[in-house]
């Protein structure tokens, strides 16, 4: 029915099967929108957050998806600025992932902050003393950049490409995409850093407070590094997932290995930096604030296991796997390592958000536990469903993996060779 | 983020932040404006067809973008850097100067049971151009192209007086689910339209005359190796679209290939063979 909109030579499921696939996600989105609507109309009393636990599931989600979406800027930088042409095979998918992650994060933030009709206040009346101002500016600018980068992908749709003005605009915009890649890299560095800096400057929360360089606490740099490290891992993971679900070969194994190598390299630098930072914090920063580091880990369930898991299990181990050429040759190892790296960044963002706020800091304070309300979970799920839907539609109607057709032809050639070998 | 906002001061930090922010906004806005202005210029200069061809060409698999000198064995491997427009290719100019094409005694080349008359020039998108005595150029489908489309369900030809461009669309043909853009081999103005029965589709008054007008097109001894490769591509395209391997040794393609493979995705096969992305 919709074949005319699907890129020539690409095989996609029937319209009926596609509708069946999107139906549950659409239902989840509707439910999530209802939850978000409740929060917006009735206020944050619909959530389990309060003045003490002001950051919850949504901020954890925001930080995590923004880190995972960093693959868009890193891939753009490597492809258009450093000219690593192999990444052409995944750049479109990376842009879609970036758009999904950033727009999802902005949507969740809008619900969290509330009063969406006054969202422009943040630009017109910014708090110039807040790191959140830098975050807001950079994220909204970068989301705009990502949407502009997404535009050529949309305009390459088969039907839209038939319109001469769309065709020409897409071509001319694509020729200038290196400017957007450069701007995107600049913005990403700053907002990833500012998100980390947000926690590092919390003097009243010694668990998160860090010293650093000039006005930037060490978490500023750690957030940049960790996001850059897991971005390629997330692209690897999503590409493999789409390959599995669609039962198609989308990119060559060499591209997976390249993504893993980039991710492994950056992850190892991150693990090193994080280890040094943790040692400085344990021996200097924390005692300077009047707390011994072990005190933070006496509040269960946040034992030292969480630190070990973050640095060793989900940091060092995947980095080693991705940097070992022999292991990189095996898809199973690659996917496991990429998944572990992504879990690592999620754990880090969880620790920075939830553990930081749960720990008591004053003598009359107590350990507070937080569990999100169903409205919070619903809104969280809406972002996930929205991401799946946008990616599914993009995969169906746009060419996200430019080598897909070529890989099919190569598979056909091998099939033919096998048939001929059998005949003679 | 404005200077009159509460808390703002003209300190270095604020100026750097504002400067960076406005520089980013300016860069993004300038990119969009530049793309719009360039697009407008390109549309006014009638470059849409050239851009479409370049876009199609870049989306072709690497094996379909090989240089014509790979077909003749002069290179083992080389991608065409000029989107099959050899008129601007220095390598091609040097090679044909050093090794001019050998004369073929026959009047036509027979490949896989298909006739390719040698009195004309062939585009790799399966069209030909023949210079007539009155200086006009006839444009038609080659034998393989004609067998791929069979009898088209619909044909969309340009009107006399319309301009056509080399590597742009000569005409559109519909067969089964395939809507095919057939590539034009020459630049010029359409003076008359033909049909499959007349053996040609367009009579064009070319913009250029002389050898440069046809330099980008295949001829003579280049035809046979090209068709050999095209048959391999066809076989591959059919296999990829779920049809059985097409040819046994010594076999010839049927007159209406589309009708012989009712289950194949003919849109994909035609896209592949007519070099449409």
Query: B179 - beta bridge partners?
Result: B174
Size of interface A-B (CB pairs under 8 A): 120
B248: closest chain A residue by CA? A420
Q: CA B176, CA B49: separation in Å to the nearest integer?
A: 25
Q: Minimal Cα–Cα distance from B79 to chain A, Å?
A: 15
For residue A177, give every residue at least 6 positions away whose Cβ sits within 8 Å of its Cβ, in sequence order, or none: A76, A80, A149, A152
Chain B hits for A168, CB-CB cut-off 8 Å, are 39, 42-43, 47-48, 51
**Residue A303: pLDDT band by 50, 70, 90 thresholds?**
confident
- Across the interface, of A156, A164, A186, the residue whose CB is closest to B48 is A164
The helix or strand, by DSSP H or E, that contains position A387, with its residue range, turns out to be helix A374-397
Most B-contacting residue of A125, A160, A169 (CB-CB within 10 A), to test interface: A169
| Helical pair A88-113 and A15-42, crossing angle rounded to 10 deg | 30
Beta bridge partners of B180: B173
Query: Residue B203: beta bridge partners?
Result: B138, B192
- This prediction's pTM: 0.90
DSSP code of residue A2 = -
Contact between residue A202 and residue A132 where contact means Cβ atoms under 8 Å apart = no
Pick from A63, A372, A336: nearest CA to A224: A63
Q: How far apart are the first and last CA of chain B?
A: 46
Look at A165-174, A252-261, B100-109 and tell me which has the smallest mean pLDDT: B100-109
What is the DSSP secondary-structure string of B171-219? EEEEETTEEEEEEPSS-EEEEEEEETTTTEEEEEEES--SGGGGTTSB-
CB within 8 Å: A171 and B55: yes
Q: What is the ipTM of this complex?
A: 0.87
pLDDT at A114 over 90: no
Question: What is the spatial distance between Cα B183 and Cα A354, in angstroms, rounded to a whole number?
Answer: 62
Buried b (16+ CB within 10 A) or exposed e, A170-199: bbbbbebbbbbbbbbbbbbbbbbbbbbbbb
Domain locations in chain A as residue ranges: 49-370
Q: Using CB atoms, which residue from B25, B27, B51 is nearest to A171?
A: B51
Mean pLDDT of A72-78: 91
Contacts of A419 (CB under 8 A, 6+ apart): B245
Residues in A 128-187 with any Cβ partner in B closer than 8 A? 128-129, 133-134, 137, 141, 144-145, 148, 156, 161, 164-165, 167-173, 175-176, 179-180, 182-183, 186-187
pLDDT of residue A113 exceeding 60, the answer is yes
Relative orientation angle of helices A177-200 and A164-175, to the nearest 10 degrees: 60
Q: Do A187 and B24 form a contact (C-beta atoms < 8 A)?
A: yes
Distance CA B210, CA A325 (A): 57
CA distance A172 to chain B (A): 5
The DSSP letter of residue A117 is G
Domain range summary for chain B, segments of one domain joined by +: 12-45, 50-273
Q: How far is B232 from chain A (nearest CA, A)?
A: 10
A318: pLDDT strictly greater than 60: yes
B21 and A183 within 8 Å at the Cβ level: the answer is: no
Angle between helices A177-200 and A131-155 (to 10 degrees): 150
**pLDDT > 70 in chain A, percent:** 99
Q: Give the C-alpha separation, B43 to A164, whole Å.
A: 8
Pick from A162, A3, A398, A15: nearest CA to B176: A3
User: Out of A145-149, A232-236, A365-369, A385-389, which region has the weakest mean confidence (pLDDT)?
Assistant: A365-369
pLDDT of residue A423: 63
CB distance A187–B24 less than 8 Å?
A: yes
Asked if the model's pLDDT at residue B96 lies above 80, the reply is: yes
User: Does residue B253 contact residue B273 with C-beta atoms inside 8 Å?
Assistant: no
Q: Would you state the structure tokens that stand for residue A70, as one six-digit string?
A: 């960093």
A408 to chain B: closest CA residue: B240
Cβ contact B1–A126 (<8 Å): yes
B242: nearest CA partner in chain A: A412
CATH topology for B50-273 is OB fold (Dihydrolipoamide Acetyltransferase, E2P) (2.40.50)
Cα within 13 Å of Cα(A77), Cβ side: 17
Distance from CA of B71 to the nearest CA of A (A): 19
- Tell me phi and psi for residue B163, to 5 degrees: -90, 145
Strand B137-141 to B200-206 pairing: antiparallel
Distance of CA A64 to the CA centre of its chain: 6
The structure tokens 């039962």 sit at A247
Could you report how far apart the first and last alpha carbons of chain A are, in Å?
A: 42
Cα four-point dihedral sign B114, B117, B118, B124:
negative
Where is A213: in which H helix or E strand? Answer: strand A212-213
φ, ψ dihedrals at B9, nearest 5°:
-140, 160
Question: Is the per-residue pLDDT at A299 higher than 90?
Answer: no
Helix (H) or strand (E) holding A351: none
Cα separations in angstroms, B34 against B42, B179, B208: 12, 33, 33
Point out the least confidently predicted range of A127-136, A278-287, B77-86, B116-125.
A127-136
**Which residues touch A34 (CB under 8 Å, ≥6 apart)?**
A378
Q: Residue A174, Cα to own-chain centre: how many angstroms?
A: 24
Residues of A in contact with B61 (CB under 8 A): 405-406, 409
Query: What is the model's pLDDT at position B184?
Result: 95
A253 versus A419: the higher-pLDDT residue is: A253
Bridge partner list, B171: B182
User: pLDDT tens digits for A254-294?
Assistant: 999 999 999 999 999 999 999 999 999 999 999 998 888 88
Neighboring chain B residues of A11 at a CB cutoff of 8 Å: 265
- For residues A61 and A383, the answer to whether their CB atoms sit within 8 Å is yes
Q: What is the mean pLDDT of residues B46-56?
A: 92
Suggest the residue from A130, A165, A167 to mutate for an interface test with chain B (most B CBs closer than 10 A): A167
Between chains, do A171 and B54 touch, taking CB under 8 Å as contact?
yes
d(CA B60, CA B39): 23
Contacts of A416 in chain B (CB under 8 A): 235-236, 239, 245
| pLDDT tens, position by position, A405-421 | 889 888 888 877 787 77
**A77, A98, A68, A383: which is closest to A223 by C-alpha?**
A68
Supply the Cα-derived Rg of chain A in whole angstroms: 23
Question: Mean per-residue pLDDT for A32-58?
Answer: 91
A172, B35: Cβ pair inside 8 Å? yes
pLDDT reading at B250 higher than 80: no
Integer Cα distance of A378 and A352 in angstroms: 23
């Amino acid at each position: 029915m919709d074949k005319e909109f699907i890129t020539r030579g690409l095989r996609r499921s029937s319209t009926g099967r596609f509708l069946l696939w999107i139906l549950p996600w659409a239902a989840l989105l509707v439910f999530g929108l209802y939850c978000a609507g409740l929060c917006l109309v009735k206020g944050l009393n619909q959530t389990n957050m309060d003045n003490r636990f002001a950051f919850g599931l949504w901020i954890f989600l925001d930080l995590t998806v923004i880190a995972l979406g960093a693959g868009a800027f890193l891939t753009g930088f490597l492809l258009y600025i450093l000219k690593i042409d192999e990444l052409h095979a995944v750049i479109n998918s990376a842009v879609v992932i970036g758009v999904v992650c950033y727009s999802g994060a902005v949507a969740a933030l809008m619900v969290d902050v509330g009063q969406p009709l006054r969202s422009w206040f943040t630009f017109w009346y910014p708090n110039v003393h807040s790191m959140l101002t830098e975050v807001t500016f950079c994220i909204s600018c970068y989301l705009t950049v990502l949407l502009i980068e997404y535009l050529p992908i949309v305009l390459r749709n088969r039907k839209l490409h038939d319109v001469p003005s769309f065709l020409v605009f897409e071509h001319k915009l694509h020729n200038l995409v290196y400017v957007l890649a450069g701007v995107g890299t600049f913005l990403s560095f700053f907002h990833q850093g500012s998100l980390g800096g947000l926690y590092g400057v919390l003097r009243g929360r010694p668990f998160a407070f860090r010293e650093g360089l000039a006005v930037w606490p060490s978490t500023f740099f750690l957030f940049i590094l960790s996001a850059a490290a897991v971005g390629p891992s997330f692209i690897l993971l999503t590409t493999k997932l789409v390959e599995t679900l669609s039962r198609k070969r989308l990119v060559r194994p060499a591209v997976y290995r390249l993504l893993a190598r980039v991710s492994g390299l950056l992850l190892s630098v991150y693990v090193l930096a994080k280890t040094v930072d943790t040692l400085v914090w344990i021996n200097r920063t924390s005692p300077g604030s009047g707390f011994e580091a072990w005190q933070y880990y006496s509040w269960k369930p946040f034992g030292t296991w969480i630190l070990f898991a973050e640095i060793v299990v989900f940091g060092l181990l995947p980095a080693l796997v991705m940097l070992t050429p022999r292991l990189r040759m095996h898809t199973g190892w690659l996917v496991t390592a990429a998944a572990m790296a992504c879990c690592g960044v999620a754990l880090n963002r969880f620790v920075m958000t939830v553990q930081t706020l749960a720990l008591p800091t004053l003598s009359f304070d107590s350990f507070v536990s937080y569990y999100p309300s169903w409205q919070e979970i619903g809104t969280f799920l809406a972002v996930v469903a929205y991401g799946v839907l946008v990616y599914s539609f993009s995969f169906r109607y746009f060419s996200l993996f430019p080598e897909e057709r070529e890989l099919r032809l190569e598979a056909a050639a091998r099939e033919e060779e096998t048939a001929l070998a059998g005949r003679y | 983020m404005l200077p009159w906002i509460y808390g703002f001061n003209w300190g270095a930090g604020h100026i750097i932040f504002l400067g960076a922010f406005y520089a980013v906004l300016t860069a993004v806005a300038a990119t969009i404006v530049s793309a719009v202005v360039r697009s407008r210029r390109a549309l006014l200069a009638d470059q849409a067809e050239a851009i479409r061809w370049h876009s199609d060409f870049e989306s072709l698999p690497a094996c379909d973008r090989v240089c014509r000198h790979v077909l003749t064995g002069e290179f083992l491997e080389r991608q065409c850097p000029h989107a099959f427009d050899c008129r601007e290719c220095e390598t091609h100019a040097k090679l044909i100067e050093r090794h001019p094409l050998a004369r073929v005694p026959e009047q036509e080349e027979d490949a896989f049971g298909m006739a390719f008359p040698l009195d004309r020039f062939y585009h790799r998108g399966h069209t030909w151009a023949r210079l007539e005595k009155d200086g006009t150029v006839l444009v038609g489908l080659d034998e393989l192209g004609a067998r791929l489309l069979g009898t088209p369900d619909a044909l969309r030809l340009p009107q006399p007086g319309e301009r056509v461009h080399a590597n742009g669309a000569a005409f559109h043909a519909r067969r089964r689910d395939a809507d095919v853009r057939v590539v034009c081999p020459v630049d010029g103005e359409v003076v008359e339209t033909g049909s499959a029965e007349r053996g040609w589709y367009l009579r064009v008054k070319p913009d250029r005359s002389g050898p440069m007008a046809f330099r980008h097109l295949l001829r003579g001894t280049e035809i046979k190796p090209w068709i050999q490769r095209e048959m391999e591509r066809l076989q591959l395209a059919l296999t990829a679209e779920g049809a059985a391997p097409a040819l046994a040794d010594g076999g010839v393609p049927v007159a209406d290939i589309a009708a012989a493979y009712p289950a194949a995705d003919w849109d994909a096969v035609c896209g592949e063979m007519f070099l449409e992305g």
